[in-house]
Amino acid sequence: MTSPESRLAELGLTLPEAAAPVANYVPFVQSGNLVHVSGQVSKGRDGLIAGRVGTDLTLDEAKAAARVCALNLIAQLKAACGGDLSKVKRIVRLGGYVNADPAFTDIPQVINGASDLMVEVFGEAGRHARSAIGCAVLPLNAAVEVDAVVEVE
Amino acid sequence: MTSPESRLAELGLTLPEAAAPVANYVPFVQSGNLVHVSGQVSKGRDGLIAGRVGTDLTLDEAKAAARVCALNLIAQLKAACGGDLSKVKRIVRLGGYVNADPAFTDIPQVINGASDLMVEVFGEAGRHARSAIGCAVLPLNAAVEVDAVVEVE
Amino acid sequence: MTSPESRLAELGLTLPEAAAPVANYVPFVQSGNLVHVSGQVSKGRDGLIAGRVGTDLTLDEAKAAARVCALNLIAQLKAACGGDLSKVKRIVRLGGYVNADPAFTDIPQVINGASDLMVEVFGEAGRHARSAIGCAVLPLNAAVEVDAVVEVE
Ligand SMILES: [Ca+2]
C-alpha cells in the first residue's frame, strides 16, 4: 500500500508546519490510542481564507478552504505520530464548522473538501464519521474550521 | 429487561433504513468499544423537517424533529451492532444542533426530544452527557441535527 | 505537586454545587477512563451571564463568562472523580461555544478564559486540544458554553 506521505507527494501537496499553540491549549492530545486534534482553521500557505460562505465565498472556494483545514489536520497528525503518518489507523471523526450565511445550506458539500482529502491520503482508513454545521462566526473570521478524532497505533 | 427492539415496538416506532453515505464519510466508525455516529438530520418518513426554529417551526415541532434525529441515530446504531441493539452498553454523549433564530433560546427543550427517546428505548443506559447549541444554518436547511458517541459491547 | 483543590484555594475560587440534571441527560458519563462532561453554560454564583458577545458583552466580560463555564466543568469533574480532583490525568479536549455577534471574531480569546483556568488548576495536565466556534444562540441565551473530554485514573 502506498504510504500517506507518498500519496501527499502524488497529490502535489506539501504539509504546512504544524501550527504552534497560541494559548493555553495544544494542537493535539492523545489518550489511549485516540488522538484529539484541535480545530484547524482555513489558513494556508497564502494566508487566511476568511469570510462568510454564501456571501463572501462561493461553494467551490469554501470547499477549497475545507481542504486547507484537512491539510493542517494532517500536519498535526504527523507531529502526533512522531513524523510517521503510517501510524494512523483510522480517521474516526471529523467535526466541520462553516462560517455560513443563514441562507446557505450546502454545508455538507463544503466539508466534503476535507473528507475527500482524508480518503485521498489515507484510503479506506480515511473514511470517517462526520458532523457538519453552519456557524454564526469562526475564529479570525475563518471561512471553515475542522477538528478530528483519530485512532493511531 | 425489555430489549430496545421491544421498547421501540411498544412505542409504535419503526426504525428507518440506516441512511447510506452520500460522500467520503460513513454513518459510524467504531474505535475500541466506542462508536462515533455521524450527525443525523431531521429527515423522517415524511421527508425533511426543515426551517429555522422560532421563525418557521415552534418548539413542539422542533422537539419532534429532534426525536426524528434520535430515531435515525438508533437506526445507525443497530447497523453498528450487527442488528442487535442489546449490544448498546451506554449512550455516552449526544451533540445537539438547532437551526435557531438568534432570539430563540429554548435550545435544551428542543434537544430533549432526542434525549427522551434515548431513555425511552435504552432505559438507564440511554442517559447521556450532552451539549446543545443554536446554529446559523444546518445541512439541507434541516431544523435539527444530532450526533452521538456510544459504548457498545 | 500542589493538588488541584489547593490551587483552587490559592486562586480564591470555591467550586459551585455541581448542577443537577434538568432533563433526560446527566452531567457526565464515564466510558473506560474517559469522562464526557455535558456542556456547562456561563451561570455562576451571581446568576446567568447572558447575551451576545460583541453586542451585549465585551471581550473581557465574555472571557470571564468562559472562566465560569470552566469552573462549572471542574465542579462536575470533582463529582465524576468521587470528590478527588487529583484523579484527573489529563484534560483531553474542550469544546468552546460563544454566543457571538456575526461581526465578532475574537472567539479564541473568549475561550482562553476557560483554557487558562484549566492550566491554573491542573498544571500541565490541564493543557488540552480545543475547538472554538461562534454560535447563533446558546441555551437560556447564555454568553458562553464549554464541554469537555477528560482522562481520569
Ligand atoms: Ca471521544
Query: Could C108 and A36 be called an inter-chain contact, meaning their C-beta atoms sit closer than 8 Å?
Result: no
Task: Give the tens place of pLDDT for each residue, C9-53.
Answer: 999 999 998 877 668 899 999 999 999 999 999 999 889 999 999
Q: Is the pLDDT of residue A142 over 80?
A: yes
Start-to-end CA span in chain B (Å): 17
Q: Is B93 on the interface with A (CB under 8 A)?
A: no
Distance (Å) from CA A45 to ligand 1 centroid:
31
For C137, the closest of B93, B102, B151 (CB atoms) is B102
Enter the C-alpha cell of residue A54: 454564501
The CATH T-level fold of domain A4-16+30-152 is 60s Ribosomal Protein L30; Chain: A; (3.30.1330)
Q: Is the pLDDT of residue A1 over 80?
A: no
Count contacts between A and B (CB, < 8 Å): 91
Q: Is the pLDDT of residue A18 over 90?
A: no
Start-to-end CA span in chain A (Å): 17
The region of weakest confidence among A12-26, B60-74, B77-91 is A12-26
Q: Is C36 on the interface with A (CB under 8 A)?
A: no
Task: Give the tens place of pLDDT for each residue, B92-147.
Answer: 999 999 999 999 999 999 999 999 999 999 999 999 999 999 999 999 999 999 99
For residue A22, list chain C residues with Cβ-Cβ distance below 8 A: 108
Query: Look-up: residue for cell 479536549?
Result: C93
Query: Could A34 and B38 be called an inter-chain contact, meaning their C-beta atoms sit closer than 8 Å?
Result: no
Q: Any idea where the domains of chain B sit in the sequence?
A: 34-152
Question: What is the architecture, at CATH level 2, of domain C4-17+30-152?
Answer: 2-Layer Sandwich (3.30)
pLDDT of res. C1: 62
For residue A52, list chain C residues with Cβ-Cβ distance below 8 A: 102
Q: Is A95 or A22 the better-scoring residue by pLDDT?
A: A95
Q: What is the CA radius of gyration of chain C?
A: 15
Element (H, E) at A120: helix A107-122
Query: Sorting pLDDT into bands at 50, 70 and 90, what band is B21?
Result: low
Q: Is A90 on the interface with B (CB under 8 A)?
A: yes
Query: Look-up: residue for cell 433564530?
Result: B101
Put simply, the chain C residues between 130 and 149 with a CB less than 8 A from any chain B CB are 135-141, 145, 147
Q: Is the pLDDT of residue A68 over 70?
A: yes
Query: Could A38 and C129 be called an inter-chain contact, meaning their C-beta atoms sit closer than 8 Å?
Result: yes
Phi/psi at A27 (5° precision): -70, -25
Please provide the average confidence, as pLDDT, over all residues in chain C. Answer: 95
The average pLDDT across A60-81 equals 97
pLDDT of res. C20: 74
Query: Could B133 and C38 be called an inter-chain contact, meaning their C-beta atoms sit closer than 8 Å?
Result: no
Distance (Å) from CA A150 to ligand 1 centroid:
9
- How many Å lie between the alpha carbon of B36 and the closest alpha carbon of chain A? 6
pLDDT of res. B14: 92
Query: Could B140 and A94 be called an inter-chain contact, meaning their C-beta atoms sit closer than 8 Å?
Result: no
CA atoms of C122 and C147, how far apart (whole Å): 17
For A100, the closest of B26, B36, B137 (CB atoms) is B137
Distance (Å) from CA B150 to ligand 1 centroid:
9
For B138, the closest of A127, A129, A134 (CB atoms) is A134
Count contacts between A and C (CB, < 8 Å): 91
Enter the C-alpha cell of residue C111: 475561550
Nearest CA to C121 out of C80, C75, C82 is that of C75
Query: Could A25 and C133 be called an inter-chain contact, meaning their C-beta atoms sit closer than 8 Å?
Result: no
For residue C134, list chain A residues with Cβ-Cβ distance below 8 A: 135-138
High-pLDDT (> 90) share of chain B, %: 92
Q: Is the pLDDT of residue A22 over 80?
A: no
For B36, the closest of A102, A104, A129 (CB atoms) is A129
- Three-state DSSP at A82 gives coil
Distance (Å) from CA B12 to ligand 1 centroid:
32
Task: Give the tens place of pLDDT for each residue, C48-95.
Answer: 999 999 999 999 999 999 999 999 999 999 999 999 999 999 999 999
Question: What is the architecture, at CATH level 2, of domain B34-152?
Answer: 2-Layer Sandwich (3.30)
Task: Give the tens place of pLDDT for each residue, A92-117.
Answer: 999 999 999 999 999 999 999 999 99
Distance (Å) from CA C60 to ligand 1 centroid:
31
For C145, the closest of B103, B112, B131 (CB atoms) is B131
Q: What is the DSSP letter of A42?
A: S
CA atoms of B97 and C135, how far apart (whole Å): 10
> Which chains have at least 3 CB atom pairs separated by less than 8 Å from chain A?
B, C
CA atoms of B147 and C96, how far apart (whole Å): 17
Query: Could B28 and A132 be called an inter-chain contact, meaning their C-beta atoms sit closer than 8 Å?
Result: no
